[in-house]
Amino acid sequence: MTMRMRFHLTIRLLHWTMAFLIIAMLFVGIGMVSTAGPAYAQLLTLHRPLGIAILLLACVRLAIRLATLAPPLPDDLPRAQKLAAKGSHLLLYLAMIGMPLIGWAMLSAGGYPVTLGLGLTLPPILPQNLGAFGMLRQAHTIAAVALFGLILGHLTIALVHGFIRHDGVLSTMAFGPSADHPQFPAPTILPRLEPASTDSIPIEHSFPAETDPAIRLDPSERQIDPT
């Protein structure tokens, strides 16, 4: 797998936190559409604070994203796919910020308070208007479907990069060992070999007779020192 730089740690933390919140909010929204009675009120109590939390986190994430560097896309990726990747990220930010705002405006136009729990209530951002309420409700539904489609597409492309292309794009949002400085196993230290002591070597093996030229010569060939 190609080693690549990663997004800023705060971006990665926000990414996975928001992914959990968005999936939870979508399931709560599906439950609201298919449920009536007391369960609807309970789901609505969860849906409102989830939407506002996503709105705030998306704004913080966008600010940090603009202030930090992003890992470059692979060089071998076609230009059209690079443009599509940037466009899809832009649409995701628009959906994450726009959808909660539409919901807030919808409740304001319908005259419903945006309660967050613990006694917190947001002020209305639109005057009460039933016509606007109906239009915003349709827009909120369309935005939810669009966000769900964007998430599915985003997940599919991420899996393609991670398990088919193996280009390191998926690891830019991962945790654990750094993609730039992977943790390699520590080198194995071999035991130091001490040289054998010469004391244990027999004398006759240390200086074999065959290596002495004087011994190898025939006695008649030896030179006698005239002195």
| pLDDT for residue 223 is more than 90 | no
How far is Cα 16 from Cα 59, in angstroms, rounded to an integer? 15
How far is Cα 167 from Cα 176, in angstroms, rounded to an integer? 18
DSSP state letters, 175-205 = -SS-SSS--PPPPP-PPPPPPPPGGGS-HHH
The pLDDT score that the predictor gives to residue 184 is: 35
Cα distances from 41 to residues 38, 118, 138, in angstroms, run 5, 16, 20
Q: Please name the residues in contact with 131: beta carbons below 8 A apart, sequence gap of 6 or more.
A: none
Structure tokens given for 141: 């539904």
Digit-coded pLDDT (tens) for 116-159: 877 889 999 999 999 999 999 999 999 999 999 999 999 999 99
Return the SS3 of 115. Answer: strand
Identify whether the C-beta of residue 77 lies closer than 8 Å to the C-beta of residue 13.
no
- Average pLDDT value for residue range 98-124: 91
- How would you class 216 by CB atoms within 10 Å of its CB: exposed for 0-12, middle for 13-18, buried for 19 or more? exposed
The answer to which of 91-95, 125-129, 185-189, 219-223 has the lowest mean pLDDT is 185-189
Structure tokens given for 111: 């005259």
For residues 94-123, one letter each, b for 16 or more C-beta atoms within 10 angstroms of the residue's C-beta and e for the rest, the string is ebbbbbbbbbbbbbbbbeeebebeeeeeee
The pLDDT score that the predictor gives to residue 69 is: 85
- Average pLDDT value for residue range 165-172: 88
Digit-coded pLDDT (tens) for 61-90: 999 999 988 899 998 999 999 999 999 999
Quote the pTM value: 0.72
| pLDDT for residue 13 is more than 70 | yes
The pLDDT score that the predictor gives to residue 205 is: 47
The pLDDT score that the predictor gives to residue 209 is: 47
The pLDDT score that the predictor gives to residue 51 is: 93
Structure tokens given for 52: 């506002």
| Residue 11 burial (CB count, 10 A) | 17
| pLDDT for residue 202 is more than 80 | no
Return the SS3 of 35. Answer: coil
**DSSP H/E element including 135:** helix 130-160
How far is Cα 172 from Cα 179, in angstroms, rounded to an integer? 8
pLDDT band for 30, please (50, 70, 90 cuts).
confident
The pLDDT score that the predictor gives to residue 129 is: 95
The pLDDT score that the predictor gives to residue 227 is: 47
Domains and CATH numbers, the chain: 9-72+82-172 (1.20.950)
